[in-house]
Structure formats: C-alpha cells, structure tokens
Chains A and B, each alone.
Chain A
C-alpha cells in the first residue's frame, strides 16, 4: 500500500458542483498538505495542517476548504467548482524533518 493515498485519481465535474478530494497517509506524520500543479507554475500550496486542530491557508486557498478528520486523513473540497480549478492536485505529509512524501495525485477537470 502507498504511504499517501489520494482518491479519486481522476475526476471530471461540472462548473458549480461541489467536489471533495480525499487523502490518507500511513506514515504516522502530523503534518499534511494540499498542493496544486499547473503547467509553468510548479506546485502551489493550497492548505496545510500541522495537527488535527491546526489548519492554515496557503498561497492559493480561495475557492477551497479542507477538513482534517484524523491524523491520517486530510480532505480538500471545492464548494463550487470553476474551470480554472482544473489542475493536478497533490496531497503530501511530513514529520519534523524537511522531506515530504507525496501521493500520486488527483487529476481534476472542471467543464
């Protein structure tokens, strides 16, 4: 089993729909992150959480919300999806060291 699992792997949704991307990790780490990748822009931080009761906005949080249901689970929601949220989304986890472990990504298309 992967250390960080993201579901779904691919999703096509319509403008205005609510969608949730889920992430779970088996590393036992406290810190979890959501990033999106766009061509030419690299990975940009959406939200991060340092423990279950700690949620923080990242660089591009507008239009997104998150929920940290447990140490191992961190979900990302788009309340009303719009086409410019079409991107590749990555969840990651880390401990107190620097390196992150990433999931395989969710490819989201908003039509």
Chain B
C-alpha cells in the first residue's frame, strides 16, 4: 500500500500561470516532506521541504503547503516557466528515510 500518493501522473500549464502539484500521505509519523524535481537522464534534485510542524514554506517561485489534518501537501509554482517542465516527486521522511510518490510530469507550455 502506497504511503505517499501523487494521483495526477501529468499536468499541463501555460507559461506565466500557476502550477499546483498535489500529494497525499497516510503515515502520521512522517516528520518532513520534500519535493524533488527530475529532468530526463538526470537524478532527482532537491527543490523544497517543509517540516511537519509548519503549514507553509516559500522559496522564490516555489511554495509548499501542508495540511496535516487532511494529510495533504501541495507545491505551487508561480509564475510557471518552460524550464520548470520536469517530473516532480513528493517525498516524506520518517527516521531519516524517504518514501517517494510516483511522480507528476509537469509540462509548461510557452
């Protein structure tokens, strides 16, 4: 049973608009949540994280929101740029081990 779920395999957004990527989890013991970005032929790279004691973390164009009661987090990218086109993985940490979601392919259309 997947503990971290990304239910949207793909998302297309116009350049300049907001991209919202969603992630749900089931394990209440997760203490950190992270987003990774992956380009073809490269490994995943860390994008942004949030502690379970917070509900929002912002870094430039990227903001992660955490709703603990709903066991849901989201990544907002504003404004979206063509270079943001990649696969985005949600990950959750427990005892310093990461569990990953299945990923969402974001395509930003020029």
Residues of B within 8 A of A (CB): 4, 6, 9, 32, 34, 36, 41-46, 49, 89, 93, 96-103
Contact = CB atoms under 8 A, between A and B. Distances in A.
A90 B97 contact: no
Contacts, number: 50
Contacts of A99: 34, 46, 49
Contacts of B34: 98-99
B16 to A, nearest CB: 29
A94 interface: yes
Contacts of B49: 98-99
Interface residues of A, number: 22
A98 B43 CA distance: 17
B43 A4 contact: yes
Contacts of B97: 45, 48
A105 B43 contact: yes
A94 B102 contact: no
Nearest to A104: B43
Interface in A32-90: 35, 40-45, 48, 90
